[in-house]
């Protein structure tokens, strides 16, 4: 058969798949992404499902989206819908292959009965504490449960009563009978079913026993005919258990392949820790733009194409490694530099009065929406004799290589004239509050004759500028690896968000939610999808124009 060639950079998993297709071990590629619907997806999940959907796409196969909803206490439909939205947002489609582990609860139960009848599973009546004590350690073998040798008939009867709700939670548990002295702790008679009198978001109150993830995981893959069960490395030690279940049941065996999970600097990926950040109100919610969740990144303005580029760029390997957050931010900049319309905004305003410009004249200057893409058109910028520039673009005693404004110095206003600072006005405290400047009215759209002006600064017209709220987001943690801190909460960056007011060109008042702009010379900003109102946009800083964090470390 002919093997489809991968469309992207190869890695060890693609090599395995290519060799299997060539040898005939598998004739098609079927992968799956199996999230548990107990929280929101983060950038680490994006690496996983980008890999799974990407592999299926590259080799002409398919990828299933399957929710492993085996724990009704922590799972909700809210998370199901959020996960589906995240996967779609990144541009992936599972087609008709949307599945749930709960779809297979009847079959899982029959397989559990099959293992009991084969003498491979038993009902244990020890307490949870007794089971922990008897499990042993990495250096000491476990001890057999006193209930391990129950008869098949007694086990079947007890398991049936468990299913019928005749026992309270925690009184019995179904375990696989493997080997309590195994060096692999996962093979020391692992739990298969526990009693849990809880309402399930899909099956309601039909069940009061639920399969453990390790029992349902491999069998779910088998039922769906998944050829490649691609997992992160923490599941490597679980693979012998999955293989044991598959062999004892005599069913189709998917091939499990493990890869290193994503570790991103200045970030935590643990669902437990992210949940604590939300519950303890260190952030405003799962969609806080500082969070590594996909819903947070979407609200912040990260384009899905940038996240896909990032996932491809960091590669897939076996060895654990840390990826600096700047790599992700650079992918965001690259994408937004191509797509974001340009606008002018002043965050720290300083008044400029043009002494030779008519006080009653308001011009409409032409400005490109994107200087490198003329096909994106232009917009009109109001221009008058009173303007605001950014205070950082003026120095009273500028150094030699400061190419912005200073006393007696010239600078070009972007998309407008060259101006010269003639007078500096200060208040009673000596603070500069206004600049009196002259405009070279012969320099609109052309260079001056006989001199070179290097500096270009942004501006807004004083009377026509609109005030908007801006949020200046930065890294959520000040420590590169917050997980190493004694208490990761202490590693939170107190400067991770600052609120401010900006003066912007009037066209931005009508910006739609979720639209991202480059505030020229300032950064990329996105209209907040939650707090913005008609005519009152709130702008989130998506990313700075360049990486400034490394210089601060």
SS3 state at 195:
strand
The last residue of one of the domains, among 259, 293, 325, is 259
Q: Is residue 7 part of a domain?
A: no
Q: What are phi and psi of 114, to 5 degrees?
A: -60, -40
Q: Is residue 499 part of a domain?
A: yes
pTM equals 0.91
Question: Residue 4's pLDDT is what?
Answer: 39
Same domain, 112 and 194: yes
Same domain, 64 and 189: yes
Q: Residues 84, 261, 351, 414: which is the catalytic one?
A: 261
The domain total for the chain is: 3
Q: First CA to last CA across the chain, in angstroms?
A: 55
User: What is the distance between the alpha carbons of residues 422 and 61, in angstroms, rounded to a whole number?
Assistant: 69
Q: Is residue 526 part of a domain?
A: yes
Same domain, 186 and 47: yes
Q: Is residue 463 part of a domain?
A: no
Q: Is residue 265 part of a domain?
A: no
SS3 state at 233:
helix
Same domain, 207 and 138: yes
Q: Residues 36, 179, 422, 479: which is the catalytic one?
A: 36
Q: What are phi and psi of 74, to 5 degrees?
A: -110, 0
Strand order across the 456-457 sheet: 456-457, 410-413, 418-426, 432-440, 349-354, 386-390, 459-461
Same domain, 325 and 360: no
* 74 Cβ contact partners less than 8 Å away, ≥ 6 residues apart: 36, 38
Mean pLDDT score of the chain: 94
Where would I find the beta strands (DSSP E) of 142-270?
173-176, 191-195, 209-211, 228-232, 255-259, 263-264
CATH code at 51? 3.40.50.620
Q: What is the pLDDT along the chain (553 residues), one digit of tens a residue?
A: 334 343 456 789 999 999 999 999 989 999 999 999 988 999 999 999 999 999 999 999 999 999 999 999 988 899 999 999 999 999 999 999 999 999 999 999 999 999 999 999 999 999 999 999 999 999 999 999 999 999 999 999 999 999 999 999 999 999 999 999 999 999 999 999 999 999 999 999 999 999 999 999 999 999 999 999 999 999 999 999 999 999 999 999 999 999 999 999 999 999 999 999 999 999 999 999 999 999 999 999 999 999 999 999 999 998 877 899 999 999 999 999 999 999 999 999 999 999 999 999 999 999 999 999 999 999 999 999 999 999 999 999 999 889 999 999 999 999 999 999 999 999 999 999 999 999 999 999 999 988 999 999 999 999 999 999 999 999 999 999 999 999 999 999 999 999 999 999 999 999 999 999 999 999 999 999 999 999 999 999 999 998 765 554 4
Q: Residues 120, 148, 202, 271: which is the catalytic one?
A: 271
Same domain, 138 and 254: yes
135 as an active site residue: the answer is: no
Same domain, 83 and 209: yes
Name the residue among 260, 210, 207 with its Cα closest to residue 232: 260
The last residue of one of the domains, among 203, 237, 259, is 259
User: What is the distance between the alpha carbons of residues 508 and 500, in angstroms, rounded to a whole number?
Assistant: 16
Is beta strand 418-426 parallel, antiparallel or unpaired with respect to 410-413?
Answer: antiparallel
Same domain, 475 and 442: no
CATH code at 321? 2.40.240.10
Same domain, 413 and 327: no
Note whether 368 and 374 are within 8 A (CB).
yes
399: containing domain? 345-457
Same domain, 69 and 173: yes
What tokens does 331 get?
């992918």
Q: Look up residue 147 and give its DSSP letter.
A: T
Q: Is residue 380 part of a domain?
A: yes
* 529 Cβ contact partners less than 8 Å away, ≥ 6 residues apart: 298, 299, 513, 514
CA-angle at 102, arms to 188 and 174, nearest 5°: 30
281 as an active site residue: the answer is: no
Instruction: Indicate if the alpha-carbon torsion angle 328, 329, 330, 333 is positive or negative.
Output: positive
36 as an active site residue: the answer is: yes
Tell me the β-bridge partners of 65: 33, 98
Whole-angstrom CA distances from 154 to 81, 123, 161, 179, 207 are 42, 9, 11, 21, 21
Same domain, 30 and 171: yes
User: What is the distance between the alpha carbons of residues 12 and 317, in angstroms, rounded to a whole number?
Assistant: 7
Q: Is residue 68 part of a domain?
A: yes
Same domain, 290 and 353: no
Q: Is residue 2 part of a domain?
A: no
Question: Residue 75's pLDDT is what?
Answer: 82
The last residue of one of the domains, among 429, 457, 485, is 457
Is beta strand 432-440 parallel, antiparallel or unpaired with respect to 378-383?
Answer: unpaired
């Amino acid at each position: 058969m002919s093997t489809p060639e991968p469309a992207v950079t190869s890695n060890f998993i693609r090599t395995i798949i290519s060799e299997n297709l060539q040898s005939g071990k598998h004739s098609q590629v079927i992968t799956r992404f199996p999230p548990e619907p107990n929280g929101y997806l983060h950038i680490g999940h994006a690496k996983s499902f980008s890999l799974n959907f990407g592999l299926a796409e590259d080799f002409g196969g398919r990828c299933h989206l399957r929710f492993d909803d085996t724990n009704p206490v922590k799972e909700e439909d809210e998370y199901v819908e959020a996960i589906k939205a995240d996967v779609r947002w990144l541009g992936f489609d599972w087609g008709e292959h949307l599945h749930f582990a709960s779809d297979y609860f009847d079959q899982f139960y029959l397989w559990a009965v099959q293992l009991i009848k084969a003498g491979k599973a038993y009902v244990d009546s020890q307490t949870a504490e007794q089971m922990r004590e008897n499990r042993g350690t990495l250096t000491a073998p476990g001890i057999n449960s006193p209930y391990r040798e129950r008869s098949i008939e007694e086990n079947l009867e007890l398991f049936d009563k468990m299913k019928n709700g005749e026992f309270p939670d925690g009184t019995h548990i179904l375990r696989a009978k493997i080997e309590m002295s195994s060096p692999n702790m996962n093979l020391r008679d692992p739990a298969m079913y526990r009693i849990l009198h809880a309402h399930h978001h899909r099956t309601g109150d039909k069940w009061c026993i639920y399969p453990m993830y390790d029992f349902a995981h491999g069998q779910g893959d088998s039922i769906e005919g998944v050829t490649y069960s691609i997992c992160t490395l923490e599941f490597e030690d679980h693979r012998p258990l999955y293989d044991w279940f598959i062999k004892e049941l005599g069913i189709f065996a998917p091939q499990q392949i493990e890869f290193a999970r994503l570790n991103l600097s200045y970030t935590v990926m643990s669902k437990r820790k992210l949940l604590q950040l939300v519950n303890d109100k260190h952030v405003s919610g799962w969609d806080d733009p500082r969070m590594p969740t996909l819903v947070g990144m979407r609200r912040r303005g990260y384009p899905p194409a940038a996240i896909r580029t990032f996932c491809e760029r960091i590669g897939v390997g076996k060895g654990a490694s840390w990826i600096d957050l700047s790599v992700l931010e650079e992918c965001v900049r690259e994408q937004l530099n191509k797509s974001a319309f340009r606008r002018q905004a002043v965050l720290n305003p300083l008044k400029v009065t043009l002494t030779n410009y008519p006080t009653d004249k308001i011009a409409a200057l032409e400005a490109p929406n994107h200087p490198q893409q003329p096909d994106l058109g232009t917009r009109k910028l109001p221009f008058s004799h009173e303007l605001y520039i950014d205070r950082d673009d003026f120095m009273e005693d500028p150094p030699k290589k400061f190419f912005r404004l200073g006393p007696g110095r010239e600078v070009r206003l972007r998309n407008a004239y060259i101006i010269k600072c003639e007078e500096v006005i200060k208040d009673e405290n000596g603070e500069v509050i206004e600049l009196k400047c002259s405009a070279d009215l012969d320099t609109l759209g052309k260079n001056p004759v006989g001199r070179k002006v290097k500096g270009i600064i942004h501006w807004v017209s004083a009377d026509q500028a609109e005030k908007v709220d801006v949020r200046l987001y930065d890294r959520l943690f000040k420590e590169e690896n917050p997980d190493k801190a004694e208490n990761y909460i202490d590693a939170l960056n107190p400067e991770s968000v600052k609120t401010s007011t900006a003066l912007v060109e009037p066209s931005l008042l009508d910006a739609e939610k979720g639209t991202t702009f480059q505030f020229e010379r300032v950064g990329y900003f996105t209209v907040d999808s939650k707090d913005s109102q008609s005519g009152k946009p709130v702008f989130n800083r998506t990313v700075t124009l360049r990486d400034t964090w490394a210089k601060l470390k």
